[in-house]
Homo-oligomer: A and B are copies of this chain.
Amino acid sequence: MTHTFNNELALRQRAKLAFPNGVYGHQSIARLSPDYPQFIARTQGARLWDTDNNEYIDYMCGYGTNLLGYHHPKVDEAASKQQAIADAATGPSPLMLELAEKFNDICEHADWSMFAKNGNDATTICVMTARAQTTKNTILIAEGAYHGSSGWCTPQPSGVAPGDRQHQISYTYNDVQSLLDAVNQAGDDLAAIIVTPFKHNAFTDQELPTQDFANTVRRLCDTHDAALILDDVRCALRFTLGSTWETLGVLPDLCAMSKSVANGYALSVVTGNNRFRDGASKIYATGSFWFASASFAASLATIKVIEEESTIDLLQQSGDRLRSGMQTQAAGFGYSLRQTGPSQMPLIAFDDDPKSAMCNFFFSEVVKRGVYMHPWHNMFISGAHTAEIIDETLIRTEGAFVALKKKFG
A124 in complex: contacting residue of B58, B86, B150, B158, CB < 8 Å: B150
**A128 and B151 form a contact (CB under 8 A):** yes
Using known A-B contacts A129-B159, A282-B159, determine if residue A20 contacts B60 with beta carbons closer than 8 Å. no
**B21 and A149 form a contact (CB under 8 A):** no
* Complex Cα spacing A283 to B149, Å: 9
A231 to chain B, nearest CB (A): 13
Which residues of chain A (20-59) have a CB below 8 Å from chain B?
20-21, 23-27, 29, 37-43, 48, 51, 58
**A258 and B288 form a contact (CB under 8 A):** yes
**A286 and B114 form a contact (CB under 8 A):** no
Report if A152 contacts B (CB, 8 A): yes
Which residues of the partner chain B approach A372 to less than 8 Å between Cβ atoms?
Answer: 90
Report if A223 contacts B (CB, 8 A): no
Which residues of the partner chain B approach A121 to less than 8 Å between Cβ atoms?
Answer: 118
Report if A166 contacts B (CB, 8 A): yes
A219 to chain B, nearest CB (A): 25
Report if A339 contacts B (CB, 8 A): no
* Complex Cα spacing A31 to B323, Å: 55
**B90 and A40 form a contact (CB under 8 A):** yes
Q: Which among A61-69, A240-248, A302-310 touches the partner chain?
A: A61-69
Chain B, Cβ-Cβ closest to A124: B150
Which residues of the partner chain B approach A117 to less than 8 Å between Cβ atoms?
Answer: 117-118, 266, 287, 289
Report if A212 contacts B (CB, 8 A): no
* Complex Cα spacing A333 to B177, Å: 74
Which residues of the partner chain B approach A151 to less than 8 Å between Cβ atoms?
Answer: 124, 128, 151-152
Report if A357 contacts B (CB, 8 A): no
Most buried by B among A63, A64, A89, A281: A89
Report if A224 contacts B (CB, 8 A): no
Q: Which among A11-19, A384-392, A394-402 touches the partner chain?
A: A11-19
Which residues of the partner chain B approach A83 to less than 8 Å between Cβ atoms?
Answer: 76, 80
* Complex Cα spacing A76 to B79, Å: 13
**A39 and B118 form a contact (CB under 8 A):** no
Kindly report how many copies of this chain are found in the complex they form together: 2
Using known A-B contacts A27-B92, A88-B62, A112-B19, determine if residue A101 contacts B284 with beta carbons closer than 8 Å. no
A15 in complex: contacting residue of B19, B66, B97, CB < 8 Å: B97
Using known A-B contacts A18-B104, A131-B159, determine if residue A66 contacts B88 with beta carbons closer than 8 Å. yes
**A292 and B272 form a contact (CB under 8 A):** no
**B166 and A161 form a contact (CB under 8 A):** yes
Report if A163 contacts B (CB, 8 A): yes
* Complex Cα spacing A129 to B161, Å: 11
Using known A-B contacts A23-B91, A88-B62, A89-B48, determine if residue A119 contacts B39 with beta carbons closer than 8 Å. no
A284 to chain B, nearest CB (A): 4
Chain B, Cβ-Cβ closest to A258: B288
Which residues of the partner chain B approach A71 to less than 8 Å between Cβ atoms?
Answer: 84
**A96 and B25 form a contact (CB under 8 A):** no
27 pairs across A/B with beta carbons < 8 Å? A11-B94, A11-B97, A18-B112, A18-B113, A20-B277, A23-B96, A24-B280, A24-B285, A26-B286, A27-B91, A40-B91, A41-B85, A41-B94, A43-B87, A60-B90, A62-B89, A76-B83, A87-B265, A117-B117, A117-B289, A118-B121, A132-B158, A149-B284, A152-B164, A154-B285, A163-B165, A163-B166
Q: Which 7 A-B pairs have the closest CB atoms?
A: A25-B286, A163-B166, A128-B159, A163-B163, A21-B281, A156-B284, A266-B289
